[in-house]
Amino acid sequence: MNYKKYTKQYHPVPMETRDWPSREITHAPKWCSVDLRDGNQALYSPMTIDEKLEFFSFLVSLGIKEIEVGFPAASGTEFEFVRRLIDENLIPDDVTIQVLTQAREHIIKRTIEALSGAKNAIVHIYNSTSTLQRKVVFRKDKDEIKQLAVDGAKLVVDLVEGSLDGNIRYEYSPESFTCTEPDYAVEVCNAVLDVFKPTKDRKAIINLPSTIEVATANVYADQIEYVHKRLKYRDAVEISVHAHNDRGTGVASTELALLAGADRVEGTLFGNGERTGNADIIMLALNMFCQGIDPELDITNIDEIIARFEKYNKIPISPRHPYAGEMAYVAFSGSHQDAIKKAMAAYEAAGCEIWENPYLTIDPTDIGRKYEPIVINSQSGKGGVSYVMEKKFGYTLPPVMVAEFSKHITELSDAKQTVLEPEEIYAAFKNDYINHTPISLTSYRSGVEDNITTVTADIMYNGKPVTIDGTGNGPLDALCNALSGMLGLKLNVASYTQHDLEGKASSKAVSYICVSVGEKKCWGVGIDTNISTSSIYALISAVNKAV
Ligand code: KIV
Ligand code: ZN
């Protein structure tokens, strides 16, 4: 590969001290959804007005208070959408809409027109400041580019102050900030802030986008901290970050930027957006949530969020998406399944207060999911098999039996070369351990005299009715002796456990019996409403296996 075609252009910002590496995220930032603008402009087929209206109210229902609703000067649809939101009074009083405009006169004018009558709005103006864009796109020097930003900001302020009477705030983005010299970015932002004249009561927003993600997340953090420490009016300014995901680190970049002084995050649900997307708000929020931080968003029904996302954007989310992917709570590895199961049992035993799990960062039920290792493959081993048998079907198999049964399941999965569904596992279980041939029980009677139990059993043996008798120190022992006599084998009950079958309408008991014949050990299972009858059935199943 011709890697020499690429040069390393972006390095940590030379700073004597940097604070972000030793800081921690302690609270949620202000969230701003750009789904309806950056997300929408990145779709093969952008949303209709009706879809945008629905998506808008869905974003509101998630608790998002600032929503960039579009680029009103870009098209009739965009303009009309903003008008409908305002004219039809669809914006709750605690929600602020945001509109994007380039720093160009006619675009600014049209944008401000779109906001007429808005109660709460942010006018977001941007121009690119990067070295490359200055050189090849705008062919302007640093002063000219700064002037463009200042002129745009002045026009915005003049038009807003002259024609709008709502609570209107200002936002400026030095587009392609990550490819801009940090000191120059500070210079431009400060010049724009001199125009905005922000106050603590009417804060301005300086949005520092990684329009294209070009370096490791620590470099973005350095760039943010550099600006954060040099901005004028700092206590009247919110620093916003807007990370794209070209290197796959949009979320990491955003998190480090928060450590570096950012107050606000622009992003989209599941990271939809230009090229490889924007910072993913859901992932960011749940990353905070699982560290014990209130994300200040309602993500209690992740499947509904996915359904809405897919409906409006018409693109799917990855099955491996952290938290939301359909495989996020599926563990195939047997040791993982075992550890998850044990940690869940410990969590329940401790009263479900503090979540601690070696392989699941959150309790899936918090977002409307459940952990179901119902997919068993050849890597799953004992833990997975016993979990499925217990959680799905109510059978708590004795450990030695699990070891034997899971070997068989591994063979089946290997042969099938894919996962086994729970029903296939259950079918294998019945096939292996509930055996009615060659012996089946028709009826039995037992009595006790002088501490000796006698059993008489009517059975079918190889299709013929037979009556057998035996004595022992309990019905099981007596029947085992009767069967030993009939078969001419030395059968012993080596292990016997039983429990109620949970989750069944009619409460039944299940018994697990292991009989030994010489070196050979065979397990059998019996189920009945009567606990001792279930053990008799289990014995017969085990003996059938032995013979
Ligand atoms: O990615 C970007 O730089 C943008 C700006 C318009 C903020 O979307
Ligand atoms: Zn963007």
pLDDT of residue 281: 98
pLDDT of residue 104: 96
340-349 long-range Cβ contacts below 8 angstroms, 24+ apart: 340/371, 340/373, 340/383, 341/383, 341/386, 341/387, 344/371
Query: What is the SS3 string spanning 137-183?
Result: HHCCCHHHHHHHHHHHHHHHHHHHHHHCCCEEEEEEEEECHHHCCHH
The percent of residues in the chain predicted with pLDDT above 90, rounded, is 86
Ligand nearest to the CA of 210: 1
Q: Which atom, in ligand 1's list, is nearest to the CA of 34? A: 8
Any residues with CB less than 8 A from the CB of 220 and at least 6 apart, and which? 178, 210, 213, 243, 253, 256, 257
pLDDT of residue 326: 84
Sole residue written with tokens 């009619």: 506
Q: What's the 22 CA to ligand 1 centre distance in angstroms?
A: 29
Q: What's the 91 CA to ligand 2 centre distance in angstroms?
A: 23
pLDDT of residue 139: 94
Q: What's the 279 CA to ligand 2 centre distance in angstroms?
A: 9
CB within 6 Å of ligand 1 — which residues?
A: 38, 100, 126, 173, 175, 207, 209, 211, 242, 244
pLDDT of residue 371: 83
Q: Lay out the sheet containing 491-501: strands in order across.
A: 491-501, 508-517, 520-528
Ligand nearest to the CA of 175: 1
524, 540 in Cβ contact below 8 A?
A: yes
Q: What's the 209 CA to ligand 1 centre distance in angstroms?
A: 6
pTM for the whole thing?
Answer: 0.77
Nearest to 146 by CA among 134, 158, 132: 134
pLDDT of residue 6: 95
Q: What's the 274 CA to ligand 2 centre distance in angstroms?
A: 7
Domain residue ranges of the chain, discontinuous segments joined by +: 30-313, 334-412, 439-546
Residue 37 DSSP label: I
Q: Which atom, in ligand 1's list, is nearest to the CA of 38? A: 8
Q: To test the ligand 1 pocket, which listed residue (36, 107, 126, 220) has its Cβ within 8 A of the most ligand atoms?
A: 126
Alpha-carbon distance 187 to 245, whole Å?
A: 26
Q: Which CATH number fits domain 30-313: 2.60.120.620, 1.10.1040.10, 3.40.50.720, 3.20.20.70?
A: 3.20.20.70
Catalogue the E-assigned strands of 215-257.
237-243
Residue 396 DSSP label: -
Q: To test the ligand 1 pocket, which listed residue (38, 40, 240) has its Cβ within 8 A of the most ligand atoms?
A: 38
Q: To test the ligand 1 pocket, which listed residue (41, 100, 240) has its Cβ within 8 A of the most ligand atoms?
A: 100
Q: Which atom, in ligand 1's list, is nearest to the CA of 244? A: 1
Residue nearest to atom 2 of ligand 1 (CA): 211
Q: What's the 211 CA to ligand 2 centre distance in angstroms?
A: 5
Strand pairing of 491-501 and 204-210?
A: unpaired
Alpha-carbon distance 98 to 112, whole Å?
A: 11
For the record, the structure tokens of 384 come out as 């997975």
| CATH 3.30.160.270 assigned to 439-546 | yes
Q: What's the 46 CA to ligand 2 centre distance in angstroms?
A: 16
CA torsion through residues 540, 413, 401, 359, sign = negative
pLDDT of residue 28: 98
End-to-end CA distance of the chain: 65
Alpha-carbon distance 450 to 117, whole Å?
A: 98
Q: Which atom, in ligand 1's list, is nearest to the CA of 175? A: 3
Pick out the chain residues at pLDDT < 70.
372-381, 383, 502-506
Q: What's the 167 CA to ligand 1 centre distance in angstroms?
A: 23
Residue nearest to atom 3 of ligand 1 (CA): 211
Q: Which atom, in ligand 1's list, is nearest to the CA of 278? A: 1
